[in-house]
Amino acid sequence: MKIRTKNDLEKMREKGLKNLYPKETKVSVGMATCGLSTGADKVYEAIQDEVEKGKLPIQLAQTGCIGFCQREPVVDILEPGKPRVFYQEVTPDRAKELIHRWLKNEVVGDWLLCKMEKEDWIAEDRVQDYPIRQIPKGIDGTPSYHQVPFYNKQLKIALRNCGFINPDHIEEYVARGGYISLYKALFEMKPEEIIEEVKRSGLRGRGGAGFLTGNKWETCRRAKGDQKFILCNADEGDPGAYMDRSILEGDPHSVVEGMIIGAYAIGAHEGFIYVRNEYPLAIQKLLIALQQAEEAGLLGDDILGSGFSLKINLFRGGGAFVCGESTALMASIEGKVGEPRAKHIHTTESGLWDKPSNLNNVETWNNVPIILSRGAGWYSKIGTDQSKGTKVFSIVGKVKNTGLIEVPMGITLREIVYDIGGGVPDGKKFKAVQTGGPSGGCIPESLINLPVDFDRLTEVGSMMGSGGMIVMDESTCMVDVAKYFMDFLKGESCGKCTSCREGTKRMHEILTEIAEGRGTMDHIELLKELGWVTAEASLCQLGGTAPNPVLSTIRYFQEEYEEHILHKRCPAKVCRALLQYRILSNVCTKCGRCAKVCPVKAITGKKKTKKETGEPFSIDAKKCIKCGMCFETCKFEAVEVQ
Amino acid sequence: MEVSKIDSIIEQYGARESALLAILQDIQAKENYLPKDALEYVSQKMHIPLVRIFRIATFYNALSLKPRGLHKIDVCLGTACHVRGGSKILEKIERDLGVSVGETTKDNRFTLESVRCIGCCSLGPVAVVDGKVFGRLGQDKVSGLLKEFK
Ligand SMILES: Cc1cc2nc3c(=O)[nH]c(=O)nc-3n(C[C@H](O)[C@H](O)[C@H](O)COP(=O)(O)O)c2cc1C
Ligand code: FES
């Protein structure tokens, strides 16, 4: 169906609403990559089988991720007249049981994540109340969505549709307010007005540097040239960050809509989405979305009959971190090696094929439709003075509740780590949060009350980056983390600048020396000096920010470096060369499990049996490769690491 | 690699320089790696010097000039997986298979590689085998995982 009028859009919306809220029971399975990796596909099949076998009155659907990845697979059930329920950690067996119980108007309380009585439609400032006439048995005591600590402080703008719509159905996106902003942009606004609105919203780029989006668009619009390009950066290279993947897998149309609006505002007629090679599912969902948008007349020639045309191409990256940098990304699309160039002339003036080009990140594009539909005034009320709106973060690492969260800018680290993340698991002590990917730094516990926005993170020596937050506890070694990032960067440096190529390599060597017990106190000064040179002399921001992980760990955790250097000790018990494994003979129960798992047969002893008393086990330090198998295997904490 | 197959890949994208990466990726998807004769053919057909093609082929991590085994294992060494012991998983697989990262087993069954984040960080440490993601790994789960692909 080609959409031409507002009425057509309304018709599509009605179709979508029927999909979203059917008359019979609807069961949706979260099938983004995180869901699939925990067996969501098997759960889906199990439900499908059951429905077919029993001819059950159930509609089965797929959806994206609602953020609580730790609790995947998540399955939600929606039936008119009842609260919506979300089940967590669903297995195929559980799935069968819970749908049968549902049909008997029962829930299994213990398996529930939460219930939901209403849905926010952020795109239009509407709340969709579920009319509740019947309460399933067993639901008492189940928290509502907003009562769950993980969701309590969240405000979902970018993730508005993830986990609520089937990403393969454009109608469902439209039903929740999609493509309405595009209509408004094309027929009710001039390009300059759109740019003005985006400027007033205060939106800053979500890809890392936090450049003001409206200003960038304006420069690109004003740039001379008959041909211009718009680009979407979906290269998401920061390890530990996966918001772009989740948005593309769960709500690809939001990005496409944002790009069309941007292209119209800037005056571009061709666009590219540069997607990471490691994201096959996101690529698949995007291709479907692009095709559907084209079929609906929302992309291609004469969009919605407005006379404006735009073609969007998908470009698959080749697995190079540096290609996330704007000039390298453009070189890569041109078919060249993805190396950055100096930016004396901005890409907004001369970018892809030397034409004015506007590049924004996935999350940036995704925010645009909402800014138009809700208005810059509404948007700019959210967040802090200089950082408006919300930001999606992935909280991962040593934290109880891992997942994707979206919070207003300015929320404190403490709220993120403790209130939402639930703190550090296994009774361990919190140590730091790493933000900003390889360009970022480690923020120590003393700064836990820091309000999180672009500028505050930079002030403390880290960065916003894509929004990865890797929580670290006492068993994470800061020297090892610095070494880890240098290893990453020396591998990903394209090698064009000597300072970056050699600087990252030498810093890695020095950190290895320290981690292996050969460090000296001079090394710390040398690292600072090398870090300074690498940052100052490098062409692009890969080198420009490369020392951050080293400098921030020295700044906040110098005593840990000194412990490695002066006492040849790794307090977190990570740096292997400094560790010794031994078995406490008075704790050893002589069960022999450790000896069985030891890959190098370094553990000897005599197993206790009914007849024999046995002998405690012990480790031959000469043979030990410090793999930690015995430590992980021993149930009695008889293996000690020092 | 058969010339006709390469022709049809090139045709699909058009012999444009900007399609080079996509063309190489498709060749690799079919052949498991980039055979030298295929690259030479692409060079002639697209009028791109062979050195340029080799530069691209060696620059991008996704491209490989070495044949790969039947199953490809990618162990994630992204930050989130690293702090949860990703490197220990990698070493366990190395020991079990008797190869180092980047190598292929003698029986050509497995090629072991590492990646820096596949976006499943919340379930770390993770590994990908033939495109399927396995999360929440521990050293104790490695043998079972490898057996699935025997
Ligand atoms: C080494 C390097 C890697 C980068 N990787 C990414 C990335 O993966 N995704 C991204 O959106 N931006 C990345 N950036 C930032 C981009 O260069 C660019 O600033 C951004 O895509 C602009 O979009 P925004 O204004 O919407 O943030 C990277 C920058 C550097 C220097
Ligand atoms: S760090 Fe391993 S999947 Fe992201």
Which amino acid residue places its CA nearest to atom 4 of ligand 1? A324
Per the prediction, chain A carries an average pLDDT of: 96
Q: What is the pLDDT of residues B121-144, one digit of tens each?
A: 999 899 999 999 999 999 999 999
Secondary structure (DSSP) of A451-485: B-SHHHHHHTT---TT-EEEEEETTS-HHHHHHHH
* Residues of chain A with C-beta less than 8 angstroms from the C-beta of B118: 33, 278-279
Q: For a pocket test of ligand 1, which of A206, A233, A273, A391 has the largest count of ligand atoms closer than 8 A to its C-beta?
A: A233
CA distance A120 to A115: 14
Strand ranges in A535-577 using DSSP code E only, listed in sequence order: none
A634 touches chain B (CB under 8 A): no
For residue B126, how far is its CA from the centre of ligand 2 (angstroms)?
7
User: To the nearest whole angstrom, how far is the Cα of B11 from the nearest Cα of chain A?
Assistant: 16
Provide the 10 A C-beta neighbour count for residue A302: 11
Question: Does the pLDDT of residue A642 top 90, yes or no?
Answer: no
CA distance A265 to A233: 18
A243 touches chain B (CB under 8 A): no
Q: What is the pLDDT of residues A3-37, one digit of tens each?
A: 999 999 999 999 999 999 999 999 999 999 999 99
Cα angle A456-A462-A466, degrees, rounded to a multiple of 5: 90
Secondary structure (DSSP) of A580-614: -EEE-TTT-----HHHHH-TT--EEEE---SS---
Residue B89 in contact with ligand 2 by CB distance below 6 A: no
Asked if B135's CB is within 8 angstroms of A242's CB, the reply is no
Please report the pLDDT score of residue A554 as a whole number: 97
CA distance A159 to A362: 12
Q: What ipTM does the predicted assembly reach?
A: 0.95
Question: Does the pLDDT of residue A177 top 90, yes or no?
Answer: yes
Residue A383 in contact with ligand 1 by CB distance below 6 A: no
Residue A205 in contact with ligand 1 by CB distance below 6 A: yes
Question: Which of B72, B121, B130 to mutate to test binding with chain A, by most A CBs within 10 Å of its CB?
Answer: B121
Q: In what helix (H) or strand (E) does residue B87 lie, and over which residues does it extend?
A: helix B86-97
CA A493 from chain centre, in angstroms, equals 23
User: To the nearest whole angstrom, how far is the Cα of A9 from the nearest Cα of chain B?
Assistant: 33
* Residues of chain A with C-beta less than 8 angstroms from the C-beta of B126: 37
CA distance A573 to A7: 65
Please report the pLDDT score of residue B40 as a whole number: 97
Q: What is the pLDDT of residues A561-600, one digit of tens each?
A: 999 999 999 999 999 999 999 999 999 999 999 999 999 9
Q: What is the CATH number of domain A390-473?
A: 3.10.20.600
Angle of helix A280-295 relative to helix A243-250, nearest 10 degrees, comes to 40
Q: In what helix (H) or strand (E) does residue A118 lie, and over which residues does it extend?
A: strand A118-121
The domain limits of chain A are 6-152, 179-379, 390-473, 478-566, 580-641
Please report the pLDDT score of residue A449 as a whole number: 97
Question: Does the pLDDT of residue A547 top 80, yes or no?
Answer: yes
CA distance A232 to A255: 8
Residue A68: strand pairing partners: none
CATH 3.40.30.10 fits B71-148, yes or no: yes
Question: Does the pLDDT of residue B150 top 80, yes or no?
Answer: no
Q: What is the mean pLDDT of residues B36-46?
A: 96
Please report the pLDDT score of residue A196 as a whole number: 98
Out of 1.10.3720.10, 3.90.1150.10, 1.20.1440.230, 2.30.290.10, select the CATH number for domain A478-566. Answer: 1.20.1440.230
Name residues 37-76 of chain A within 8 A of B (Cβ). Answer: 37-38, 69-70, 72
**What is the third-level CATH fold of A6-152?**
Glutaredoxin (3.40.30)
The domain limits of chain B are 3-59, 71-148
Q: What is the pLDDT of residues A505-545, one digit of tens each?
A: 999 999 999 999 999 999 999 999 999 999 999 999 999 99
What is the DSSP secondary structure assignment for residue B73, as one 8-state letter?
E
CA distance A348 to A333: 16
Question: Does the pLDDT of residue A254 top 80, yes or no?
Answer: yes
Q: What is the pLDDT of residues A258-304, one digit of tens each?
A: 999 999 999 999 999 999 999 999 999 999 999 999 999 999 999 99
Residue B133 in contact with ligand 2 by CB distance below 6 A: no
Asked if B16's CB is within 8 angstroms of A335's CB, the reply is yes
- pLDDT-above-70 percentage for chain A: 100
Which amino acid residue places its CA nearest to atom 30 of ligand 1? A325
* Residues of chain B with C-beta less than 8 angstroms from the C-beta of A246: 119
Handedness of CA A260, A262, A267, A272 (dihedral sign): negative
Asked if B21's CB is within 8 angstroms of A239's CB, the reply is no
Q: Which two tokens stand for residue A400?
A: 């109880």
**What is the third-level CATH fold of A179-379?**
Rossmann fold (3.40.50)
Question: Which of A36, A37, A399 to mutate to test binding with chain B, by most B CBs within 10 Å of its CB?
Answer: A37
Residue B79 in contact with ligand 2 by CB distance below 6 A: yes
Q: A78 near A178, Cβ under 8 Å?
A: no
Q: What is the mean pLDDT of residues A602-616?
A: 91
Residue A327 in contact with ligand 1 by CB distance below 6 A: no
Question: Residue A240: which of B56, B117, B136 has the nearest Cβ?
Answer: B117
CATH architecture of A580-641: 2-Layer Sandwich (3.30)
Please report the pLDDT score of residue B1 as a whole number: 84
In A368-402, which positions are buried (b, 16+ CB within 10 angstroms) versus exposed (e)? bbbbbbbebeebeebbbeebbbbbbbbbbbbbbbb
pTM of the model: 0.96
* Cβ contacts from A onto B, under 8 A: 155
Residue A234: strand pairing partners: A275
Please report the pLDDT score of residue A128 as a whole number: 87
Which amino acid residue places its CA nearest to atom 1 of ligand 2? B78
* Residues of chain A with C-beta less than 8 angstroms from the C-beta of B61: 318-320
- Which atom of ligand 1 lies nearest, measured to the CA of A328? 17
Question: Does the pLDDT of residue A239 top 80, yes or no?
Answer: yes
Please report the pLDDT score of residue B124 as a whole number: 87
For residue A539, how far is its CA from the centre of ligand 1 (angstroms)?
15
Query: What ligand has the least distance to the C-alpha of B135?
Result: 2
Residue A361 in contact with ligand 1 by CB distance below 6 A: yes
Secondary structure (DSSP) of A51-111: HHHHT-SEEEEEE---S-GGG-S-EEEE-TBS-EEEE-S--HHHHHHHHHHHHTTB--GGG
- pLDDT-above-90 percentage for chain A: 96
Please report the pLDDT score of residue A12 as a whole number: 97
CA distance A38 to B135: 7
Residue A540 in contact with ligand 1 by CB distance below 6 A: yes
